[in-house]
Structure 1
Amino acid sequence: MSKGLVKEFDKTVKLNEEAHHALISYWKDNEIYLSFEFWLMVTFLVVPLIILFFKIDKSKLFFLGFYGYSFHMLFAYTDAYGRNMGYWNYPFPIFPILPGLALDTSLIPIIFILVYQYTLNHKKNYYVYTIIVAAIISFGFKPMLVGMGMFRMFKEINYLHLFISYTIVIILAKVIVDVFLWVEKRYKKD
């Protein structure tokens, strides 16, 4: 690798580091941790976890947990991509280096875990129910967050783009689970 290329890469890494320091300074200087919006984000992180603890079907714990983990990872990657590309961000993060933490790791994945559990327990169509929920989140919840100043969208991004990204995550999470179930069934020894 040429020295010029390495220097350019190092410069890019330095810019990324400076951006992170700027977010931390923004968080500290504006005392984000004292705002109503910050504590609402804390609520979005903690309350769904408590609800999940009591509502998850314990007989399907690992199955639903694997689905939730798959959904969470896909959603977190999608969200990180959107933030890194400057498409959206969260002005009131719980931790400045993890702006979407409350929504990425708790609220949104847990909503979909519980919807998936409902579709399993009541023999309903997963795709119909999750796409309805994705529409409610994309066209109802996210606009509410935007109105409250808790979610910002930039460039050409709109709520339809958010809905499409949720739909992709919904499909891929289900495919991942189905592939693992297929492999388990195929190779399970009785």
Structure 2
Amino acid sequence: MHDPKDEKKLEEIYDQVSDLTIEKLSIWLDSVLFTWQWWIGVGLSIIPWILWFLFRQKDCTLRLLTVGFFVIFLSTFLDSLGVQLGFWYYKHSVLPLIPAFLPWDTTLMPITIMTLLQLKPKLNHYLKGLIFALATSYIIEPFFYLD
């Protein structure tokens, strides 16, 4: 059974979320759009894909794209979950209404993994994963929090 009080409370929460989303959009338009961080995010969303397309092994395109799209799906899902649960947030998102960091989730992670698969196919996959995790967590990720 459902309680009418719960339904009313849920409706109030959705209204609050909607109001906060509009406020977030306003702040994004005033303080993020066209900043240097935003331009870097746009560049990181586009340029790596162009470079990968030009330098990929043509005969492995389907295999690499399959892995890349799986990484995009998984990283965007987990990133969105982390943002929604309040574990982290992004100050300089490329798109304000998507709760994920597009350059990271849809470009840098899949391109890096596809490149590692292409350049070092015989290297131990656990070692590749460890190198990727350490490099992204302690070297690359901190750059996304600079103001």
TM-score, structure 1 as length reference:
0.70
Deviation at 1:118, TM superposition (A): 2.3
Higher relative contact order (CA 8 A, sep 6+): 2
Contact 1:94 1:101 in 2 (8 A): yes
Cα RMSD (Å)? 1.6
Stretches of 4+ aligned residues off by more than 3 angstroms: none
Cα contact 1:116–1:130 (8 A) shared by 2: no
Q: Who is 2:79 aligned against?
A: 79
1:21-170, aligned counterparts within 5 Å? Answer: 21-30=22-31, 32-98=32-98, 99-120=100-121, 123-146=122-145, 148-149=146-147
Aligned equivalents of 1:77 and 1:100: distance in 2?
11
The corresponding residue for 2:3 is 2
| Letter of the 2:77 counterpart | Y
Output the CA distance in 1 between the equivalents of 2:73 and 2:12.
Answer: 29
Cα distance in 2 for partners of 1:18, 1:112 equals: 38
What is the rounded CA distance, in whole Å, between the counterparts of 1:139 and 1:33 in structure 2? Answer: 27
**Alpha-carbon contact 2:21-2:97 (below 8 Å) kept:** yes
Letter matched to residue 127 of structure 1 = Y
Match of 1:170 in 2: none
* AA matched with 1:8: K
Aligned letter for 1:42? V
| Aligned counterparts of 1:52 and 1:21: Cα–Cα separation in 2 | 36
Q: Judge which range, 7-16 or 63-72, deviates more.
A: 7-16
1:34 aligns to what SS in structure 2? coil
Instruction: Count residues in correspondence.
Output: 145
CA distance in 1, matches of 2:14, 2:55: 43
Deviations 1:117-158 (A, max 9, x none): 2232xx221221132022111001112322x23xxxxxxxxx
Amino acid across the alignment from 1:12: I
Task: Give ranges in structure 1 of 5+ residues lacking alignment.
Answer: 150-190
**What are the Cα deviations for residues 144-180 of structure 1, in whole angstroms up to 9, with x where unaligned?**
322x23xxxxxxxxxxxxxxxxxxxxxxxxxxxxxxx
- Stretches of structure 2 lacking an aligned partner (at least 5 in a row): none
Percent sequence identity is 23
Using the alignment, how far apart are the partners of 1:33 and 1:95 within structure 2?
Answer: 9
How far has the Cα of 1:36 moved from its partner? 0.8
Distance across 1 between alignment mates of 2:19 and 2:114: 37
CA distance in 2 between counterparts of 1:9 and 1:55 reads 50
